[in-house]
Amino acid sequence: MALTSSALPPNAINYRGERRILHNVSGEFRSGELTCILGPSGAGKSTLLNILAGYTSNGVNGRISVNGQAREMRVFKKLSSYIMQDDLLQPRLTVGESMKIAADLKLGKELGDAEKELIVEEILQTIGLWQHRDTMSQHLSGGQSKRLSVALELVNNPPIMFLDEPTTGLDVVSIRQLVVLLRLLSRQGRTIICTVHQPSASLFTLFDRVYVLSRGLCCYQGASPLLVPFLTEIGHICPVTHNPADFVLETLVSTTEAPAQMSELCQNGKLCRDLDKMTSRGGRKPVLHSDDSIQRIFVEHVAKEQLLRMEFATTFLSQFWILLKRMMLQTRRNSTALWIQLIHHILAAVLLGGIFYQIGNDGTTPIANFKFCISCLVFFMYTYVMIPVLLFPMEMRMLRREYFNRWYSLKAYYAALTISSVPVMLSLGMLFLTISYVMSGQLMELDRFVLFSIVGLLTGFCSEGLGLLVGSTFSVTNGSIVGPATLAPLLALCCYGMGFGKFIEPFMKILMSVSYLRYALSGLCLAIYNKRPLMECDDIFCVYSDPKLLLRDVGIMNDNYILQIVALVIFTAIHRISAYFALRYRLTSEFTSKFMTYISKFLKHR
């Protein structure tokens, strides 16, 4: 499968403002070849790779064709995979489990378990990870992790593969092993394109084709052995003992006119220097020993999938179930986090119960019991907002690769993410509520406890949705600021009116209605105080021995418990839906580029 670009792109933009990164470059990438995009820092290597992979299309003009036909992105994304530079692996899964999940998601039900196991085994054998199939992904070395990233994308046998700086952070041995592997995979008929910053001399010879970029221009395209003769033609003679890759980079950086000269000689990528006869080392193409059977399986599978015009290989329900099982397995294996959350909930409940010990039916301290409700509210609010704010940005980096490479739909992922947190929240939330409710001396009536628990758990679920919204939109650093900054005014509006509930201004009532915490606080107070007998009073006179007076003075007297639950459900839906769309746009690089450009313009003109 040949990938050709023509006049690409005259109007690419970068994040620091509007300027051209690439200038009408052209090129061709052929099947069965391993191509290296080479150039100094800032030359536009990653930009070009993003455009070729379809990851970036905003501000790009030109034409990209596949086998002579105009590229159709919907089909192209099924035929290609993109392994990004900051690629991360799903933690707490073995190599074999990761491959099995990838096979279930990317191959669908047309293939049976036996055929999927055959494909997984063949890929791991080829990649060199079969002996590590029971090793957890987080325990793999850097080179093994990169190979597993490649293996996961090989599951559906993509004919085109893009890799952004795959050698970054690896030692010399691991780098060579990875490039040899990529060369082997290209010999199986794939088009493999990768960016490399500065390969060694021995590594440079492993690439079939080199595409050199500098200052947004194509300075050379052709076979790696012909680069030195090409440089000689414009008067730059590479010493015999010098690494050609180092020499061309030094020439491009140190000689001002070199990029323009080289670009003119190769017509900015339109002319390609090829060897008369391209042969692989060893005289024949290395292939898998069961390559024919696997190719037959894939051909039948892809033909059937294209016939049905399916956007994904599996249905929404299948994706949801596979992802839910993966998330639940990862949660169960994350014992450290579970223990931390368990201890956190128990200590907070005991501390809260100790502070408000046996005040639930004390008519002399009703305000203290009101503060107990606020404390429970604050616990659920901060706990379940900050968990996704701190953890979800890391999950985003893994999600970006899987979603872009069409493993599953975002709807299926988000539905599984929403459901996967429910069991832990229910169990730990009920533990906290039970301990604090009993220790604080509330009325031991089952219906009151159930109503109290429903509001508490709904508050946690609604707060988690808000945390997902913040975590989907901002980085960990910015989210840690935005999260508490958002909660502070909501909490202030929630508590407004204490002591003068009957006299709350109409305008403030409108403002208070936008705080979901107000409905949560009202629900907690109604669960405890609504329709209950007079509280115990050890003094001569207790003003708030009648719970109705307390509800009146905090502005909750006329509230209805069912309406508070409905309001919390509505806010939960708003937070979750908003988080979904924020996540969807965050995963769209065009949106991110536009957003950052507008922000840069705004700051520049301030």
3-state secondary structure 170-209: CCHHHHHHHHHHHHHHHCCCCEEEEEECCCCHHHHCCCCE
Report the greatest alpha carbon distance in the chain. 107
At 291 the pLDDT is: 43
What is the per-residue pLDDT across 128-137, written as a single tens digit (0 to 9) for each? 899 999 999 9
Residue 37 CB-half CA count within 13 A: 31
Query: For the residues 534-558, what does the mean pLDDT come to?
Result: 77
Look-up of token digits 């690629």: 87
SS3 content of the chain, % helix, strand, coil (to 5): 60, 10, 30
Burial 56-80 (b: 16+ CB within 10 A, else e): beebbebebebeeeebeeeebbbbb
Instruction: Please give the Cα distance from 53 to 576 (Å, whole number).
Output: 31
At 87 the pLDDT is: 64
- For residue 332, what pLDDT band results from cuts at 50, 70 and 90? very high
The yes-or-no verdict on residue 298 having pLDDT over 70 is no
Token pair for residue 387?
């968990």
At 533 the pLDDT is: 80
The yes-or-no verdict on residue 7 having pLDDT over 90 is no
CB 199 within 8 A of CB 244: no
Backbone angles phi, psi at 419, to 5 degrees: -75, -35
The yes-or-no verdict on residue 297 having pLDDT over 50 is no
Q: Which fold has domain 19-89+158-274?
A: Rossmann fold (3.40.50)
Cα-based angle 421, 320, 78 (whole degrees, multiple of 5):
130
Query: For the residues 417-427, what does the mean pLDDT come to?
Result: 95
At 175 the pLDDT is: 86
What would the DSSP string read from start to end of 516-566?
Answer: HHHHHHHHHHHHHHTT-PPPB--SS--TTSSHHHHHHHTT-TT--HHHHHH
SS3 36: strand
Instruction: Please give the Cα distance from 277 to 288 (Å, whole number).
Output: 24
- For residue 292, what pLDDT band results from cuts at 50, 70 and 90? very low
The yes-or-no verdict on residue 172 having pLDDT over 90 is no
Number of H helices, E strands in the chain: 23, 10
Q: Which residue has the higher pLDDT, 65 or 418?
A: 418
What is the per-residue pLDDT across 80-107, written as a single tens digit (0 to 9) for each? 899 887 767 999 999 999 999 999 999 8
Tell me which of 238-242, 291-295, 348-352 is least confident: 291-295
SS3 365: coil
Look-up of token digits 């003679």: 237
- For residue 425, what pLDDT band results from cuts at 50, 70 and 90? very high
**pLDDT more than 90, % of the chain:** 42
The yes-or-no verdict on residue 432 having pLDDT over 70 is yes
The yes-or-no verdict on residue 276 having pLDDT over 80 is no
Specify the amino acid at residue 246. D
Query: For the residues 218-247, what does the mean pLDDT come to?
Result: 90
Q: 109 vs 119, 296, 526, CA distance in Å? A: 14, 16, 51
Instruction: Please give the Cα distance from 571 to 581 (Å, whole number).
Output: 15
Closest-CA residue to 370 (of 553, 568, 534): 553
At 567 the pLDDT is: 95
Closest-CA residue to 181 (of 147, 158, 148): 147
What average pLDDT does the structure give for the chain? 84
State CA 144 to chain mean position distance: 21
CA 396, 401, 404, 409 torsion: positive or negative? negative
Instruction: Please give the Cα distance from 130 to 119 (Å, whole number).
Output: 12
At 604 the pLDDT is: 52
At 287 the pLDDT is: 41
Residue 439 CB-half CA count within 13 A: 20
Instruction: Please give the Cα distance from 461 to 385 (Å, whole number).
Output: 9
Kindly report the pTM of this predicted structure.
0.84
Tell me which of 57-71, 164-178, 423-437, 438-452 is least confident: 57-71
Specify the amino acid at residue 137. S
Tell me which of 13-22, 146-155, 206-215 is least confident: 13-22
The yes-or-no verdict on residue 17 having pLDDT over 50 is no
The yes-or-no verdict on residue 243 having pLDDT over 80 is yes
What is the per-residue pLDDT across 346-386, written as a single tens digit (0 to 9) for each? 999 999 999 999 888 877 777 888 899 999 999 999 999 99
Instruction: Please give the Cα distance from 266 to 264 (Å, whole number).
Output: 6
The yes-or-no verdict on residue 509 having pLDDT over 90 is no
